[in-house]
Chain A
Amino acid sequence: MSADANDGISRRGFLAISAATLGGVMLAPGIRLIEIAGARAPATGVSKQVRWGLLIDTNKCTPGCDDCVKACATENGLKDTGHPRTDPQWIRKVELKDMRTGRASSVPVMCQHCEHPPCVDVCPTGASFKRADGIVLVDRHICIGCRYCIMACPYKARSIVFEAITDQNPDVPRGNGCAEGCTLCVHRVDRDEQPACVEACTKAGHNAMTFGDLNDPQSEIAQRVAKYASTQIRADLKLNPGVRYQGL
Chain B
Amino acid sequence: MKRKGIGALISQIARAICLLALLLPVLAFASDRVPKPVIDIDKAGKCVEDTATMRREHPDMLKHQRDSTMHEGIRTTKYSLKACVACHASKTSGSVLGEKGFCQSCHAYASVTIDCFRCHSSKPKRTSGVTP
Contacts and interface: CB of A to CB of B under 8 A. Distances in A.
Interface residues of B, number: 23
Nearest to B73: A46
A52 to B, nearest CB: 11
Contacts, number: 62
B73 A173 contact: no
Contacts of A244: none
B125 A169 contact: yes
Contact of B75 (A42, A133, A140): A42
Contact of B73 (A133, A167, A170): A133
B125 A141 contact: no
Closest 8 CB pairs of A and B: A175-B119, A45-B72, A173-B119, A46-B73, A175-B118, A170-B121, A168-B121, A173-B120
Contact of A139 (B70, B82, B120, B124): B70
Interface string B36-64: 00000000000000000000000000000
Contact of A170 (B72, B74, B82): B82
B123 A170 contact: yes
Contact of A43 (B74, B118, B125): B74
A115 to B, nearest CB: 18
Contacts of A190: 73, 75
B71 interface: yes
Given A133-B73, A137-B70, A191-B75, 20 more contacts: A42-B77, A45-B73, A74-B130, A131-B71, A131-B73, A132-B72, A139-B70, A140-B119, A165-B119, A167-B123, A170-B82, A170-B86, A170-B123, A171-B125, A173-B119, A173-B120, A173-B121, A175-B119, A178-B119, A186-B73
29 contacts: A42-B74, A42-B76, A43-B74, A44-B74, A45-B68, A45-B72, A45-B74, A75-B131, A129-B71, A131-B72, A139-B70, A140-B119, A141-B67, A141-B70, A164-B118, A168-B119, A168-B120, A168-B121, A170-B82, A170-B85, A170-B86, A170-B121, A170-B125, A171-B125, A173-B120, A175-B119, A178-B119, A187-B75, A190-B75
